Amino acid sequence: MAPHPSLTAPKITIGPDPLKPVEQMDPYKLCWCRSGKKYKWCHFRREKQNESNVFELEQQFFSELREGYCSHPAPSPDSPCSTTIIKAHTVQKKGGLSAIAEAGHVLTVKPIMKEMIKTEGNPQPRKIGVKKASVFPGFCSKHDSDLFKPVEGKSLTLGTQTAFLFSYRAVAYEPFSKEGQRQFTLNMREADSGMPFWNQAKLQSFLYDMINGLELGVRDVKCWKDQFDEQLLSGSHDDFHFVAVRFDSILPIVACCAFHPEFDLNGAHLQQLGQDMFELDHVTLTVTAFEGNTVVVFGWIGPQNGPARTLADSFLAIDDSRKADALVRLLFIHTDNVFLRPSWWASLSESSQEVLNDMTRSGTHVRERTGAEFADASIKFITADIIETVSG
């Protein structure tokens, strides 16, 4: 692969310009925090207001998140949406989640506010019931059932159609997830009530940068969804590519996500995020189980030989006995929509757990993402072999 042009492009500033906190201002001018409200109704005397309850803000967000919508692009008169928006599973409950569940539960790495505060920003995986794991209200009952039926049975044939459906479900989830993160961050603007002014300024500046970054993310994933919608409706998958493998056993991990591949599994830099001159490749990654085997599917719409293919090929090039370890690293680095078998996590050494927990913060303000963490094969997490490889 020729070097992606984004690697030499200048980085952009996330926001148009940084916040300029002002302790006192005209009450009828727009507030310095850029909430869109006038100062009188926003940060005026905020330090004298009652302290915010961050748990209530979180619950407000969860309540808003439950409303949902159907992600099918063009319901026709012959196939209209049903009236019920369901909790659609990004990883199927039967087979995928149930294959790694213990006593009806799996572990999720997605933190909640209570655990973030309790652990001072270092939360551990927590238990969640399989009925709630991996769900999002992103499809009506009819289209969820009709669309994903080929990948919801007991068995699975790896091929273009099934790989496309796994990828489609991932790109349907990501806009919902990114928009949810954006809305939660907007809600957190109220969390500085009762704080001294300079603490307000620090929190609002941090949230402002996060919101601008999330808005770029929302824009990107909606573009991915548009591309997949077009292929779903046309039935043509000429620009869709995939790499899929089947392990000889069930791995203790399932996941569903989409992301920009920034490094391959050798640590080579594939493309640079944070620039706005060149379009970036995306890739979806689904890990689930069928008939006693774990199936892994990389899928993307775009160049046959771009960063997505390079990432998938770097996975194929790893010795079969270490592919499962590389997969675990990749998932912990790139997504929180990943679920674990509780006893497997408990069996890991404290140092291995610490390494993986650190990877969940990769690419955030607390941990810079590097190629070294993708290529690090020093820790062994899982032993499994490959029994089938298919690409297209």
Both tokens of residue 268? 């080579």
Positive or negative CA dihedral for 58, 60, 64, 66?
Answer: positive
Give me the torsion for CA of 43, 49, 51, 54, rounded to 10°.
-50
pLDDT at 94: 87
Average pLDDT, stretch 348-376?
88
288, 252 Cβ separation under 8 angstroms: no
Question: Which tokens hold the place of 209?
Answer: 């940068």
- C-beta separation of 287 from 337 below 8 A: no
pLDDT score of 64: 59
Whether 232 has a pLDDT exceeding 90, the answer reads yes
**What average pLDDT does this structure show over 198-224?**
86
Please compute the mean of the pLDDT values over residues 73-83 and round it to a whole number.
78
The DSSP H or E segment spanning 307 is helix 307-317
Return the SS3 of 109.
coil
Read off the pLDDT of each residue in 355-361 and give the average, rounded to a whole number.
Answer: 90
Pairing of strands 338-340, 105-108: antiparallel
What mean pLDDT is predicted for residues 353-364?
88
Over the range 230-268, which residues count as b (16 or more CB within 10 Å of their CB) and which as e? ebbeeeebeebbbbbbbbeebbbbbbbbbbbbbbbbeeb
Judge whether residue 273 has pLDDT over 80.
yes
Mean pLDDT of 40-59: 81
Cα–Cα distance for residue pair 280/147, rounded to 1 Å: 28
Encoded tokens for 168: 């489609």
pTM tops 0.85, yes or no: yes
CA dist 182 and 301 (Å) reads 25
- Please give the pLDDT value at position 32: 95
For residues 144-150, average pLDDT: 91
Q: Show Cβ contacts of residue 193 under 8 Å, excluding neighbours closer than 6 positions.
A: 46, 49, 50, 51, 52
Supply the pLDDT for residue 243: 97
Share of the chain above pLDDT 90, in %: 56
CA distance 197 to 22: 9
pLDDT bucket at 118, cuts 50 / 70 / 90 = low
Please check the confidence at residue 280 and state whether its pLDDT lies above 80: yes
Give the residue, 209 or 28, on which the prediction is more confident.
28
Residue whose entry in the numeric block shows the structure tokens 């969390």: 191
Residue 3's pLDDT is: 87
- Both tokens of 26, joined, read 């005209």
Instruction: Name the helix (H) or strand (E) containing 256.
Output: strand 253-259
